[in-house]
Chain A
Amino acid sequence: MTATAPRRPLALPTSWVRGVVGVLVMFGFVELLTRAELVSADYLPPASSLVGESFGLLDDGNFWSAVGTTLWASFYGLVRAILIAVPVGLLLGLSKRAYRAAIVVVELLRPIPSVALIPLAILQFGLGTPMKAFLATYACLWPLLFNTIYGMKEMDEVGVDTARAFGLGGFRRALRVNLPAASPFIFTGVKIASSVALIVVIAAEIVAGGGGGLGVEIGSARLSGNVKLSYAYTLVTGVIGILLYIVLEALERRLFGWNRIGQADGR
């Protein structure tokens, strides 16, 4: 698949330039605040030193193993949530009665903030990956479930009726017609859930304070009073969030380029 040409070729460069200018102005502003000693470097270190500190992290093997631990727990939790939520969502999207019955349970469980389960999960699973993955799975269930159900509702009735006319039975119809048609919506759910998983895993690591991961590093930088390192970890976590987003967007374009509705959620 080739990249499509921008619709307004002239508008794009100026917006890029302004975006860069905006970032630079903000950078300069932060730099000035601390260089002019309006804000103590104990609270907000100069922006240039933060960039240096962040790049310094890239040389640190400890940092990479923390990234690996966090991403693996998030990914594991997310995959488990997909395996649970998508079949359940398909079922609830197919049967109105099942939907009405299940929605009670969903509305009871969904308001429980996933991070409130952290103390319980630590007691049950310890500090390691199973604990984080459990919490990520719980938190990811809801966006995945609702996006799957939503996708089933937006279904083109003609497609379903055609499959029925060709004698495709309920189960095979669900697998061959409903699932593909709902898949762009499911992917939107996956995108939302992936950032949710990262949020919950990092939160769990900060509270747990052990067992590895970015949250543990953030917590120990804080406890040792290393202001620069605290900021650097936060910035780097943001970069990871953006990279994740870019990868998923690219994946979406590749997988669902055929679907226009699925792309309408843009910005």
Chain B
Amino acid sequence: MTARERLGDVVLKAAVLVGVIAVWWFLANRSTSPYYPSPGDVLPTVWNDWLTDTAAWTDSIIPSVVRIAYGFFLAAAGSIALGMAIGRSRVLSELLEPSIHFLRAIPPPALLGVSLVVFGIGDVQKVALIAFGVAPPILLNTIDGARSVEELQLETAQAYRISRWDRIVRVIFPAAAPKVFAGLRVSISLAVILMVISELVAAPDGVGSRINGAARDFDYVDLWAGLVVLALLGIVLNALLTVVERSTLRWRQP
């Protein structure tokens, strides 16, 4: 893309963005429905009552992010370790894969009932729900990635008497990493979804809990602001993952 084309692209995107907000503004102001407040009310609320408000951070955003972080890291650590083992062992894969495929087929929100029965309504339940719910995509992708290691590379490593541990860390994992990250990417969005739903059902704090409260109090401006905050959270988490992925997979770039 030339500099001129790139400038045109930026202008086009900015114009579309402004156009979308203008249409939203126009429709909201004409609409008599209280469900659809104007961006003139929502966007300042996002800034004043969420992003620059200490209580919003301590009571909503931070608890939610902490739950996602615990659940996501637990799932990632467990799934990557197990996935590497299953991907490299034919016996293990034949023993476990049917069970894994069954567990994957359960829609993650359906685990909510069981997780509440087993873990109560505290943080443990939310972290457990997120961890179990987001594990399958990471697990299946890691299995796939670990399986796709080139035999020649492994044999070379073996011929040089590279230790088993080093083979796992330096040969198998790098080869599986692109697939692993594909799984992590699916899982991070799923983690946000499970965080929200667990907080909608039963939670003293968190973004989902505040959105639920806003709906109960008919505070539609705050409800919409919460949606915008969740979208921002999704964008930030995705961006973080992209940064980690780029630095981990730097060796792949030509």
Which residues of A are in contact with B by a Cβ distance under 8 Å? 14-15, 18-23, 25-26, 43-44, 97, 100-105, 108-109, 111-120, 122-124, 195, 198-199, 202-203, 206-207, 214-215, 218-219, 221-222, 225, 227, 230-231, 233-235, 237-239, 241-242, 245, 267
A108 to B215 alpha-carbon distance, docked (Å): 22
Contact B107 A116 (CB under 8 A): no
A169 to B251 alpha-carbon distance, docked (Å): 46
Closest Cβ neighbor of B237 among chain A residues:
A111
A43 to B103 alpha-carbon distance, docked (Å): 18
Tell me, rounded to whole Å, the shortest Cβ–Cβ distance linking A110 to chain B: 8
Tell me, rounded to whole Å, the shortest Cβ–Cβ distance linking A186 to chain B: 20
Scan B64-108; emit 1 where CB is below 8 A from any A CB, else 0.
Answer: 000000000000000000000000000100111111011101111
Residues in B neighbouring A21, C-beta threshold 8 A: 95
A202 to B117 alpha-carbon distance, docked (Å): 17
B234 CB within 8 Å of chain A: yes
Contact B12 A222 (CB under 8 A): no
Contact A104 B113 (CB under 8 A): no
Residues in B neighbouring A207, C-beta threshold 8 A: 197, 200-201
Partner of B105, one of A44, A97, A102, A238: A238
B174 CB within 8 Å of chain A: no
Extra contacts besides A23-B99, A120-B227, A227-B117 (17): CB < 8 Å: A15-B94, A23-B98, A44-B118, A101-B12, A104-B20, A105-B16, A115-B109, A116-B196, A119-B211, A119-B214, A120-B215, A199-B108, A206-B197, A206-B201, A207-B200, A222-B113, A245-B105
22 A–B contacts, CB within 8 A, in A order:
A14-B94, A19-B94, A21-B95, A22-B94, A23-B102, A43-B117, A100-B13, A108-B231, A111-B234, A118-B197, A123-B35, A199-B109, A202-B109, A203-B107, A218-B113, A222-B112, A230-B114, A234-B110, A235-B106, A238-B102, A238-B106, A242-B102
Partner of B107, one of A97, A111, A195: A195
Contact A43 B118 (CB under 8 A): yes
Closest Cβ neighbor of B102 among chain A residues:
A238
Contact B20 A112 (CB under 8 A): no
Tell me, rounded to whole Å, the shortest Cβ–Cβ distance linking B94 to chain A: 4
Contact B201 A237 (CB under 8 A): no
Contact B110 A119 (CB under 8 A): no
Contact A222 B196 (CB under 8 A): no
B183 CB within 8 Å of chain A: no
A105 to B24 alpha-carbon distance, docked (Å): 12
Residues in A neighbouring B116, C-beta threshold 8 A: 222
Residues in B neighbouring A218, C-beta threshold 8 A: 110, 112-113
B223 CB within 8 Å of chain A: yes
Residues in A neighbouring B20, C-beta threshold 8 A: 104-105, 108
Contact B106 A26 (CB under 8 A): no
Contact B200 A115 (CB under 8 A): yes
Lowest 3 A-B CB distances belong to which pairs?
Answer: A111-B234, A241-B105, A119-B215
B193 CB within 8 Å of chain A: yes
Contact A26 B110 (CB under 8 A): no
Contact A113 B196 (CB under 8 A): yes
Residues in A neighbouring B45, C-beta threshold 8 A: none
A143 to B108 alpha-carbon distance, docked (Å): 18
A198 to B104 alpha-carbon distance, docked (Å): 13
B235 CB within 8 Å of chain A: yes
Tell me, rounded to whole Å, the shortest Cβ–Cβ distance linking A43 to chain B: 5
Residues in A neighbouring B146, C-beta threshold 8 A: none
Contact B193 A104 (CB under 8 A): no
Residues in B neighbouring A105, C-beta threshold 8 A: 16, 20
- Assuming the contacts A15-B94, A22-B98, A238-B102, asked whether A101 and B35 have C-beta atoms less than 8 A apart, the reply is no
Tell me, rounded to whole Å, the shortest Cβ–Cβ distance linking A191 to chain B: 13
Residues in B neighbouring A198, C-beta threshold 8 A: 107
Tell me, rounded to whole Å, the shortest Cβ–Cβ distance linking B226 to chain A: 7
Residues in B neighbouring A114, C-beta threshold 8 A: 193
Tell me, rounded to whole Å, the shortest Cβ–Cβ distance linking B243 to chain A: 17
